[in-house]
Amino acid sequence: MFRPRVIPVLQLMNKGLVKTVHFKNPKYVGDPINAVKIFNDLEADELVFVDITASREGRLIDLDFVERVGDQANMPFAVGGGIKDLRQIQSVLRAGAEKVIVNSAAMMTPGFVKAASDEFGSSTIVVSLDVKKGWSRKNTVWGMSGTRNSKKSPPDSALEMQEEGAGEIIINSINRDGTMLGYDHDLVRSVCKVSTVPVIALGGCRSIEDASKVCSFKWGGANAAGAGSLFVYHGPRKAVLVNYPDQSQLSSIFND
Amino acid sequence: MHRRAVIVDYGMGNLRSVFNKLKVVGQHAEVSSSPEVIRRADFLILPGVGHFAKGISNIKELGLWDLLNEMVLVKATPIMGICLGMQLMANSSEEGDSEGFGWIEGRIHQNIHSDYLRFKVPHIGWNDVDRGIDNLFFEGVDGTKKFYFVHGYHMQCSNKNDVLATSEYDFEFVSAVQRKNIVGFQFHPEKSHLQGQKLFQNVLQIL
């Protein structure tokens, strides 16, 4: 049976692994290559790496790093951070990533996602929609690591990206990032209701049960559940510990 | 296993992970799009992700169409197709309305679903592979282990004997094919943990 993916989403800064809260206050949690080794041993479904300062600093994620991940990883992985032209996508894929994640460029350059999916195939292009609730309590999609407001609603943005040819959509709640308060189910559902491409829910996950819940049709209907804090922290004091459930545990929780 | 394995590079997708995982199971492979290099291979790997018609047109532009046909059909060189690489082995595809190699009798169809909000396209994720009993290619692969899929099209085989395994995502579809020296996987063994590596080992041993 098909089982929704449970995906560790790992943030990078200055070649270290970090974890933010509301996209702010990055805290160092370890060495990323070491984390890949551990996720290999634990047979994680897929990995996502995002260089959280690349776009703002106007540079691309370190390609040597992508190569080193590719040489290690026994599972598919996607890479994001500062990707803004087709040549960069080519080099990230050449370095060994299966998919690239675009966010700021998708937001700021209309037609970029279309050009990218035409060239590399839809299944290679993942669009991350970073969502924040503004003063008006309305959800809008943000670019540049949550610093620039596109003023578009998440479902509108998702539809637009899907039409341009995005193969997958990450719906990431900045308000829930790093909080471990549970997913924003209304937000996830609002996007899954209109999207015919797979949706990865992100932001707020505190347990595997949460991951399973957001993938159930009733609670969101996501195709995959991403989580950051859950897989790098352990216990109520948030001690740093890279972890991942074993496959039998996943199967039973996802009611396989 | 001192064979000359060549990964055919026809400009479609990430070949590095296939190269890496073959290396892990002890098979060095050369990545090449050169007819001269490919001609000397005694084991071929046809990977690939992307558009069917574009894949075929790239292969023709590189001057590999006749060569691959001759190697696979006449010289019976073992070949392993992965994802798009497997689909190219069929007679034709709905994707770009293109002809394929026709090594495996069949046609590639778009995944049609009963409910697109429940069954998103493409089919991305980990799924079971039903390989029946006594399937040598899957020997030593734990039946509960899943494999990683990414595809929006699937193969329908004319000859049931060519079906090596099936999987289910809303509907049942062919997830592996095999005929003589030809084997193909719809899923990605190279991204499927140790079960994928075991599969590579088996293929290298059998073909």
| Interval B120-145 mean pLDDT | 94
**What are residue B167's phi and psi, to 5 degrees?**
-140, 175
Active site residues of B: 83, 188, 190
A101-105 contacts: CB < 8 A, separation 24 or more?
A: A101/A48, A101/A50, A101/A126, A101/A127, A101/A128, A101/A170, A102/A126, A102/A127, A102/A128, A103/A55, A103/A127, A103/A128, A103/A129, A103/A130, A103/A143, A104/A55, A104/A143, A104/A144, A104/A145, A104/A148
Kindly state whether A95 is in contact with chain B, defined as any CB-CB distance less than 8 angstroms.
Answer: yes
Judged by CB atoms closer than 8 Å, whether chains meet at A1 and B16 is answered as no
Judged by CB atoms closer than 8 Å, whether chains meet at A199 and B116 is answered as no
CA A215 to chain centre: 15
Q: According to DSSP H, which parts of B111-168 are helical?
A: none
| Interval B135-156 mean pLDDT | 95
Kindly state whether A196 is in contact with chain B, defined as any CB-CB distance less than 8 angstroms.
Answer: yes
Chain A residues close to B197, C-beta within 8 Å: 74
pLDDT tens, residue by residue, B16-69: 999 999 999 999 999 999 999 999 999 999 998 888 999 999 999 999 999 999
Chain B residues close to A3, C-beta within 8 Å: 125-127, 146
Sign of CA dihedral A237, A243, A244, A245: negative
Query: For an interface test with A, which of B25, B120, B128, B153 has the most A Cβ atoms less than 10 Å from its Cβ?
Result: B120
CATH number of B184's domain: 3.40.50.880
Show the tokens assigned to A44: 């994680």
Return the residue of B nearest to A121 by Cα: B50
Residue A204: the pLDDT is 98
Residue B2: the pLDDT is 77
Residue B1: the pLDDT is 52
Write out residues 180-199 of B within 8 Å (CB-CB) of A. Answer: 188, 191-194, 196-197
Kindly state whether B121 is in contact with chain A, defined as any CB-CB distance less than 8 angstroms.
Answer: yes
Sign of CA dihedral A131, A134, A139, A141: negative
Dist. CA A34–CA B20, nearest whole Å: 18
Residue A135: the pLDDT is 81
Per cent of chain A over pLDDT 90 is 84
Residue A49: the pLDDT is 97
Kindly state whether A158 is in contact with chain B, defined as any CB-CB distance less than 8 angstroms.
Answer: no
Dist. CA B52–CA A19, nearest whole Å: 40
User: Closest Cα partner for B46 from B103, B126, B3?
Assistant: B103
Domain spans, chain A: 5-253
Per cent of chain B over pLDDT 70 is 100
Strand-pair category, B79-82 with A125-133: unpaired
Kindly state whether B1 is in contact with chain A, defined as any CB-CB distance less than 8 angstroms.
Answer: no
Judged by CB atoms closer than 8 Å, whether chains meet at B194 and A74 is answered as yes
Only one residue has tokens 């060095």, namely B28
How many residue pairs from chains A and B have C-beta atoms closer than 8 A?
106
Distance from CA of A27 to the nearest CA of B (A): 30
Distance from CA of A121 to the nearest CA of B (A): 5
Strand-pair category, B98-99 with B92-93: antiparallel
B157's enclosing H/E stretch is strand B153-157
Residue B148: the pLDDT is 97
Local structure of residue B191 (DSSP, 8 states)? G
What does the H/E/C string look like for A69-129?
Answer: HHHHCCCCEEEECCCCCHHHHHHHHHCCCCEEEECHHHHHCCCHHHHHHHHHCHHHEEEEE
Q: Which CATH architecture group holds A5-253?
A: Alpha-Beta Barrel (3.20)
Please report which confidence band the pLDDT of residue B114 belongs to, taking 50, 70 and 90 as the band edges.
confident
Digits of tens for pLDDT over chain A (256 positions)? 899 999 999 999 998 999 999 999 999 999 999 999 999 999 999 999 999 999 889 999 999 999 999 999 999 999 999 999 999 999 999 898 999 999 988 888 999 999 999 888 888 999 999 999 988 889 999 998 889 999 999 999 999 999 999 999 999 999 999 999 999 999 999 999 999 999 999 999 999 999 999 999 999 999 999 999 999 999 889 999 999 999 889 989 997 5
Domain that holds residue B186: 5-206
Please report which confidence band the pLDDT of residue B88 belongs to, taking 50, 70 and 90 as the band edges.
very high
Show the tokens assigned to A168: 């997958």
- Domain count of chain B? 1
Enter the pTM of the model: 0.94
Chain A residues close to B151, C-beta within 8 Å: 123
Distance from CA of A197 to the nearest CA of B (A): 5
Query: For an interface test with A, which of B7, B9, B12, B17 has the most A Cβ atoms less than 10 Å from its Cβ?
Result: B17
What does the H/E/C string look like for A180-214?
Answer: CCCCCHHHHHHHHCCCCCCEEEECCCCCHHHHHHH
Q: Residue B115: which residues within 8 A CB-CB, separation 6 or more?
A: B170
